[in-house]
Structure 1
Amino acid sequence: MSDPRLTPDPALASQSRAAQVAVPVADLFRRPDGPRDRQVLFGEPLTVLHEASGWAYVQAEKDGYCGYVLQRALSIPRKATHRVCVPATHAYTSADLKSPDLLSLSFGSPVTVIAETKDFAETPQGHIPRGHLAPIDRQEADPAQIAALFLGTPYLWGGNSRWGIDCSGLVQAALLACGIPCPGDSHQQERTVGAPVDGDYQPNDLLFWKGHVALVVDAETMIHANAHAMAVSYENITDAIARIEAAGDGPVTAHRRPGV
């Protein structure tokens, strides 16, 4: 049986046009009146499959996730040249940090640079500090270091941005930045990312529980977006395993290594 989150509904796939997200972060809903499943970020490319009553049924390019977004959150796509490589940044009216800010952007948001000065990159949305951007094709080397950019970010079910993120959103952001394909939900990640391993924990291993995932930092430490701290935080692995099981959420269900 196909996963409706990854397989477009043939009854709704009446068109196919390219679009991109035009707001800092947009909720991706299971249905127009339903819950948020995930989020998509400014500049991320989507395929619009159906539109009605102010809603667009879309499929996200980054992971194939399907769902509904508000039509007003979409725009005509532009070819991205860079992406935000810091936890968050602002686009300013001019190449001046004292000028009014126009837009806030989260880590990973693709943008189109049309001109550059010494300190700023000009985009259609405004001027962004050059040091906050990386070329769109640059791949980072260490998922755990990328995850650390989100330390302190509030926990948000289905969240994918610096303003709120959940466990699978954190892992996806970290792995995609390093060029490692990664779906959006933890149980999908448990089935498809890397390969199962036994033995010692190595940096960037993934640990899974029922409905939860964490990223290994070193042999004793992991980083995860968690409801216990209601934020992205470091936690001792042994302590976390004991705490999660004592809370009734069961033992570790998988230990996987991306890239294996």
Structure 2
Amino acid sequence: MTASPDPRRTPWRPDLAAAHLRGAVESARFVPGTPHHVTAGTVTLRGAPDETARQTSELLYGEGFTVYDRQAGWAWGQGARDGYVGWTRDSALTPGAPAAATHVVTALRSFLFPLPDLKAPVTDALPLGAEVTVVEESGAYRRLADGGWVFARHLAPVGSTEPDPVAVAERLLGVPYLWGGRTPLGIDCSGLVQLGLHRAGLPCPRDSDMQRGEVGTWLSADGAGVDYRRGDILFFPGHVGFMLDGTALLHATAHTMTVTVEPLADVAARAGGITGVRRLG
């Protein structure tokens, strides 16, 4: 091996790696993974098994997660949706691959109830984009395979999409900026782009550098001469956002600590210039 693989998307550490990587990477030990799925509404993914470690991403209800290691209540593994690797709380996982999803959450957040009753105490909240398996109907509510009831009008059949990823992102205007966030409770710049594209049925990796290399069609390295369209994805040093129209950028930014709209010229000047433009379709 001449170079180490990207640990963000490869279940590899110098001391331990996934068995399927044997021969491709160097590691002291190779182990088979065990399938699990997330049964908390949202759970943090961290860079180390420690509550004080920086959040690197999040896992959503219903996502598969392959576990390769456990330490003191933490599980290290890889998420099924975008392949991101990290540590998460073992208590948020249930053994076994997720049941085949039947529906997706289309509300910004939908409460999980122990009974099909809006007055019942809320047990959790499921974020936009979470995939669920409905096993029973009762009036206006649907029971999930892992327990709990969700308001039916907050769900759509799995595979249903929203045609405009920018419109999805616009629904999150005012949501607080959160490093590593992927939900309407708190989201970062690449999480906003990923969520918008996911709801449009378009695959999208987690981080902005990955998105710069993989999403859509490459147009420009600096934006010079580009006639911007709604939905163009613009990259800056360590940052990404959607063009809302020909002049304004929709993005999650630490500058305002919110999802907001700003003139592209202002963002480019503050960020140190445009480093890439990609177009969908």
Q: Structure 2 matches for 1:86-165, cutoff 5 A? A: 86-123=107-144, 124-165=146-187
Larger-Rg structure: 2
**Deviation per residue, 1:70-123 (Å, 9 max, x gap):** 211111333321111111110123323222222111111111111223422222
Q: Kindly state the Cα deviation for residue 174 of structure 1 after the two structures are TM-superposed.
A: 0.8
8 Å CA contact 1:147–1:174 kept in 2: the answer is yes
CA distance in 2, matches of 1:202, 1:148: 16
CA distance in 1, matches of 2:183, 2:147: 19
Q: Kindly state the Cα deviation for residue 193 of structure 1 after the two structures are TM-superposed.
A: 1.0
Tell me which residue corresponds to 1:12: 17
Matched, 1:37 2:56: yes
TM-score by length of 2: 0.85
8 Å CA contact 1:12–1:57 kept in 2: the answer is no
Tell me which residue corresponds to 2:241: 214
Tell me which residue corresponds to 1:28: 45
Match of 1:80 among 78, 85, 101: 101
CA distance in 1, matches of 2:33, 2:267: 45
Tell me which residue corresponds to 2:215: 193
CA distance in 1, matches of 2:198, 2:168: 10
Moved more, 10-19 or 219-228: 10-19
Percentage of identical aligned residues: 39
Q: How many residues align?
A: 254
**Deviation per residue, 1:164-189 (Å, 9 max, x gap):** 11000111111111121111111111
8 Å CA contact 1:47–1:59 kept in 2: the answer is yes
Tell me which residue corresponds to 1:3: 6
Give secondary structure in 1 for the equivalent of 2:195.
helix
Give secondary structure in 2 for the equivalent of 1:38.
strand
TM-score by length of 1: 0.91
Matched, 1:70 2:97: no
Q: Which consecutive residues of structure 2, in runs of 5 or more, have no partner in the other structure?
A: 19-30, 221-225
**Deviation per residue, 1:200-236 (Å, 9 max, x gap):** 1111110110110001121122211111111111222
Match of 1:232 among 251, 259, 265: 259
CA distance in 1, matches of 2:119, 2:74: 37
Matched, 1:47 2:50: no
CA RMSD between the two structures: 1.6
CA distance in 1, matches of 2:164, 2:194: 13
8 Å CA contact 1:12–1:50 kept in 2: the answer is no
